[in-house]
Homo-oligomer: A and B are copies of this chain.
Amino acid sequence: MTITLYELVGVDAARPFSPHCWKVAFALAHKGLDFTTVPLPFTQIGAIEGGATKTVPLIRDGETLVGDSFAIALHLEEAYPDRPSLFGGEGGVALSRFIEKWANATLVPFVGASLLPEIHAALEEDDQAYFRQTREARFGGALEDVARGREERLEAFRNALVPLRAVVKRQPFLGGEGPLFADYIVAGVFQWARVISPFPFIAEDDPVADWFERCLELHDGLGRRVPAA
């Protein structure tokens, strides 16, 4: 039975960009599960599955609906134990939480703020109004003002990648020799950036860039199917 992944898009339905939806797409591919995607703009998410969710990702797996990327990964791990593991054991589940919190604290604020105008530009008209209103309230300023100065803040962002850089210099993936959900948590953020913007969040000669390239190669080049912005 095919799993349905509801995911976020803008004008171009072939360019999903949500980091959390990418985490799930990578996780489904990692498990070798067939899935179809339902692309949605922000303002249609509330109407799907009888109003089941306000946010995506959401998956339908048979009779089961699951939202939240980490919860989806846990569901897949439990429902498909014979497929390649997303966590490599209980320790991997617990420590993936740290990776998630690190990504949310260290990567998402700068990347998210930096992308605001370009995400806005990629959206349909109804979504643009929704996005501007909600994000300007959240960030406390005009989208363009929040993103301004990202060039000056880039060095600090790249410096904050030290733990990631140190690990992927000594092993191919955060997960070790092969990827785990922890890799997808972080790669999802950089894929969000890659699909939306040509801004060079990662320096070309950074081992993090090599790691991200390895992530884009995974699962028959799933991440690369969407060309970079």
Contact = CB atoms under 8 A, between A and B. Distances in A.
Contacts of A176: 90-91, 93-94
A40 interface: no
Contacts of A180: 91, 94-95
Q: How many chain copies does the complex carry?
A: 2
Interface in A98-144: 98-99, 101-102, 104-106
A18 to B, nearest CB: 21
B88 A167 contact: no
Contacts of A229: none
A182 B94 CA distance: 10
Contacts of A88: 89-92, 94
Q: How large is the interface on A (under 10, 10 to 19, 20 to 34, 35 or more residues)?
A: 20 to 34
Interface in A158-208: 162-164, 166-167, 170-171, 173-176, 180, 182
Nearest to A178: B94
Nearest to A166: B101
A109 to B, nearest CB: 10
A172 to B, nearest CB: 10
A87 interface: yes
Contacts of A92: 88-92, 94-95
Interface of A: 85, 87-99, 101-102, 104-106, 162-164, 166-167, 170-171, 173-176, 180, 182
10 contacts: A91-B91, A91-B176, A92-B92, A93-B176, A94-B174, A95-B95, A95-B182, A97-B170, A98-B182, A106-B163
**What are the 6 closest A-B residue pairs judged by CB atoms, nearest first?**
A89-B89, A88-B91, A91-B92, A94-B176, A95-B95, A101-B166
Given A94-B171, A94-B174, A94-B182, 20 more contacts: A85-B91, A87-B91, A88-B92, A89-B89, A90-B176, A91-B91, A91-B92, A91-B96, A91-B175, A94-B180, A95-B95, A95-B174, A95-B182, A98-B102, A98-B167, A98-B174, A101-B164, A101-B167, A102-B163, A105-B163
